[in-house]
Structure 1
Amino acid sequence: MYLLGFHPQPSTQKLVCGFPIAKIGVIFSLVTGAATALCIDILNTHDIKLARRLYSFLKPNDVLLGDRAFCAYADIFSITKLGCDAVFRKHSSRTTTMRKGKIVGDCDKLVTWYKPKRCPKGLSKDKFDALPSSITVREIYYYIVIPSFRTQKVSLITTLLDRTTYPTLKIVQLYYQRSSVELDLRHLKTTLDMDVLRCKTPSMTRKEIHVYLLAYNLLRSLMWDAGTTYNTPPLRLSLQGTRHHLISFLPKFEAAGS
């Protein structure tokens, strides 16, 4: 029960009937699949709070992909201030219309967003006051049509404003790859068995999570080396297969070291 003071149980569980649960936020590289940043907090922490702690790990010219939870005025400004760009799905609270903004292509336009009148929850007053009165973003919308299913409309918001350099279709294809983060998290929790941690103190659980990420990045490094050596896309290789091969070769590595 050492963890209950730091990572409480879900409110639906009775005390000692279940496990304390932590929540993690991770940035994965779309090129290598490796984890590049991590933060850990309690279960009820909103995703946007975790994301704001991860922005400091971004490097200039990085492009951050995210779902609609991160598509906020303050966050888009914070990302561009770091010299980075973003591609987010548009938040459902914002309406989509082609009557406003500058049309730059089919289903593609530049729009002006204005600073919220009230300070959003989770944002300090100092940071809110530092926000500009308006920002320009690019809005792209398209439809997903699957026979026998309801047609789904998707609206994207991006800071990649130059349509010549960043064509509409390329932005749509880029966002389509965002779902790979779900597979990366599944690899961490399922393939590497990180869904249930063994340590019982906050400091040790943090160390345990970091060790899992080290092991995950080791596998991604091996996949990258193998893929680039044999002209195969590294992300097409199996992480589970790489893990099995590494385990089978460990005795040989140990024998060579001795």
Structure 2
Amino acid sequence: MELFSASTMPNRVEILKQKFANSVGLPFEELLPEGSITEVLEAEKVKYRNRLFNPIVTLWAFLSQVLDTDKSLQNAVSRIIAWLAAAGEAIPAADTGGYSKARKRLPEKFLLKLLGKTAQGLEKQTGSEDLWCDRHVKLCDGSTVIMSDTPKNQAEYPQHANQAPGCGFPIAKIVVMFSLATGAALEILIAPFRTGEVTLARQLYPKLTPGDILLADRAFGSYVDLVLVQQYSADAVFRKHQSRKSDFRRGKKLGIGDHIVTWSKPKRRPPGMSKEEFAELPNQVKVREVHLLIRQKGFRPKEIIVVTTLVDAKVYTKAKLAQLYQWRWQVEVDLRHVKTTLGMEMLRGKTPDMVRKEIYVHLMAYNLLRTVMWQAGRKAGVCPVRISLQGTRQHLGHFCPELYKVGAKKRLQLYNTLLTVVTDKLLPERPYRYEPRLKKQRPKPYGWMQQPRDFLKSQKAVA
């Protein structure tokens, strides 16, 4: 590997920082400037030597790697080599070892704090016209991700119990909290697959701020979760759990299919909650139950019951609650974007800490795209939700190489053009969209791996 003097290193670092800031970092100019990154590094007491892949360069390279369809380390290093070569600077070796080690040196807390900064900065840009009844709505849901099959990953995130040893992938449960107004990923928790989704989500409730509204599906519609959300001066809107019956002839009637009833504390302690935590819960809670009839063209009307702590029927009418719950599906779309559009379904990290870092950077990249969509929607006067995230990613990918080549004035013009083109083709309004979960393309006629790969290879060699 070619050696460089200390005098040439700062120049190359500054060139790379400028390239990244003028392309990938441009949408984050207000939310995540270099000064904010430095502040977090100092707060976390991260010390680093004068090297090419310092934390700031590594972060930008990591973000561009995640946004690219080719997520390989080699592709990221190749991009850096091309930039330095174009600037007439000495280029590093094409080996990926230096960049790989630099990613490992990035502390998890550093990435997690930066993720929070990108989300909070975007959330602060919302106005009353972007909120529901002048209140911030947070969406919460869970999913799973798989990762490289290594002993360390298997130890911390074991594969599914029904799979034979050596035939499955380590799997992790994730619970993410999104903003309804901006679509930004606000918080995330990661745990082994066997951890309950709701049990994990309850650790996110302290992240709610007074006045927030948490919107989630029927898995959350229990006494415990309604009470826990209220303890943080927030409100909840959940679909009622299927095991609980409703009788609209009882309680305080607010309208047809709308009443306030008193729920009593369950006798059985839920899984994942300690005896002390369960004992501190109140014995009763007032809950509003609302019967909603969801009409969808071509389908029979669907009846659901929503339970909420929003008991003021004059401010939070039945029609407004029906509209709000229909937006709950947005969290499913957001999770699909992170996993499928950005390719987070299968993570390449060989160790658990690297896997978590990949997840945090994927969510940061997702927030970057949401930032572009928010700015474009503001400029064009359209709802950011109707802007295609995949289209935004494609346009940003094509504009980035041009953004770092031009001067400041031309760069601003290019960026404004980017904001214009991402709103040229808006998504149609599809509140009742339904697509069957079926595959049309037939798979190749290969069987499933039911024995470890090494054993199968050895059997083939013997044969």
Scaled by the length of structure 2, the TM-score of the pair is: 0.54
The percent identity for this pair of structures is 49
Give 1:118 shift. Answer: 2.6
Q: Which of 179, 182, 185 is the equivalent residue of 1:32? A: 182
**2:324 — aligned with what?**
174
TM-score, length of structure 1 as denominator length: 0.96
Q: Please give the alpha-carbon distance, in whole angstroms, between the structure 2 residues aligned to 1:177 and 1:109.
A: 22
Q: How does 1:155-194 map to 2 (within 5 A)?
A: 155-194=305-344
Contact 2:199/2:271 (<8 A) preserved:
no
Measure the CA separation in 1 of the matches of 2:255 and 2:183. Answer: 32
Is residue 264–residue 283 contact of structure 2 (8 Å, CA) maintained in 1?
yes
Q: Which ranges of structure 2 fall in alignment gaps of 5 or more residues? A: 1-149, 409-463
Q: Deviations for 1:46-96, whole angstroms, at most 9, x for unmatched residues?
A: 111121111121111111001111112121111111011000000011101
Determine which structure has the larger strand proportion and give its number. Answer: 1
Tell me the residue number matched to 1:66: 216
C-alpha distance in 1 between matches for 2:300 and 2:263: 30
Aligned to 1:101: 251
Displacement of 1:228 after TM fit? 0.6
1:49 partnered with 2:199 = yes
**Structure 1 vs Structure 2 CA RMSD:** 1.6
1:239 to 389, 397, 402: 389
Q: Which amino acid aligns with 1:22?
A: A
Q: Which of the residues 282, 295, 315 maps onto 1:132? A: 282
The CA deviation at 1:152 is: 3.0
Instruction: Name the SS for the 1:52 alignment partner.
Output: helix
Offset of 1:41 from its aligned partner?
Answer: 0.6
**Aligned pair in 2 of structure 1 residues 134, 250: CA closer, same or farther (>3 Å)?**
same
2:347 match: secondary structure:
coil
Q: 1:99 to 1:38 in 2, by over 3 A?
A: same
CA deviation string 1:169-221 (max 9, x = no partner): 10011011101111111101110011100101000000000000000000001
SS at match of 1:39: strand
Letter in structure 2 aligned against 1:29: S
User: In structure 2, which of residues 312, 337, 362 is the aligned counterpart of residue 212 of structure 1?
Assistant: 362
* CA spacing shift, 1:240–1:148, aligned 2, 3 Å: closer
Q: Distance in 2 between matches of 1:209 and 1:142?
A: 36
Letter in 1 for 2:236: A
d(CA) in 2 for partners of 1:26, 1:68: 16
Code of the residue aligned with 1:220 in structure 2: it is R
Quote the Cα distance in structure 1 between the aligned partners of 2:272 and 2:160: 21
Tell me how far apart the structure 2 counterparts of residues 193 and 171 of structure 1 sit (CA, whole Å): 34
Deviation at 1:143, TM superposition (A): 2.5
The Cα shift of 1:151 comes to: 4.5
Report the equivalent of 2:267. 117
Give the number of the structure whose alpha-carbon radius of gyration is greater: 2
1:22 has 2:172 as partner: yes
The 1-side partners of 2:169 and 2:243 are apart by 35
Give the aligned partner of residue 303 of structure 2: 153
C-alpha spacing 1:257/1:46, structure 2 compared with 1 (3 Å)? farther
Equivalents in 1 of 2:318, 2:295: separation in Å? 18
Closer/same/farther in 2, CA of residues 185 and 257 from structure 1, 3 Å limit? farther
The count of corresponding residues between Structure 1 and Structure 2 is: 258
Once the two structures are TM-superposed, the CA of residue 248 in structure 1 deviates from its matched residue by 0.5
Q: Secondary structure at the match of 1:49?
A: helix
Q: CA deviation at 1:12?
A: 2.4
* 2:246 alignment partner AA: T
Q: In the TM superposition, what is the alpha-carbon distance from 1:253 to its structure 2 partner?
A: 2.3
Deviates more, 1:148-157 or 1:133-142: 148-157
Q: Is the 8 A contact 2:210 2:234 kept in 1?
A: yes
> Which letter does structure 1 place at the counterpart of 2:381?
N
In structure 2, the residue corresponding to 1:40 is in which secondary structure?
A: strand
CA distance in 2, matches of 1:113, 1:242: 46
Q: Does 1:196 pair with 2:342?
A: no
Distance in 2, Cα, partners of 1:100 & 1:24 = 39
Q: Is the 8 A contact 2:288 2:309 kept in 1?
A: yes
Aligned-partner SS, 1:212 = helix
Give yes or no for contact 2:184–2:366 (8 Å, CA) kept in 1: yes
> Which SS does the other structure have where 1:16 is aligned?
coil
Q: Secondary structure at the match of 2:404?
A: helix
**One-letter code aligned to 2:239:** R
SS in 2 for 1:98: coil
Which letter does structure 2 place at the counterpart of 1:221? T
Q: Which amino acid aligns with 2:241?
A: H
Q: CA deviation at 1:18?
A: 2.4
Amino acid at match of 1:218: L
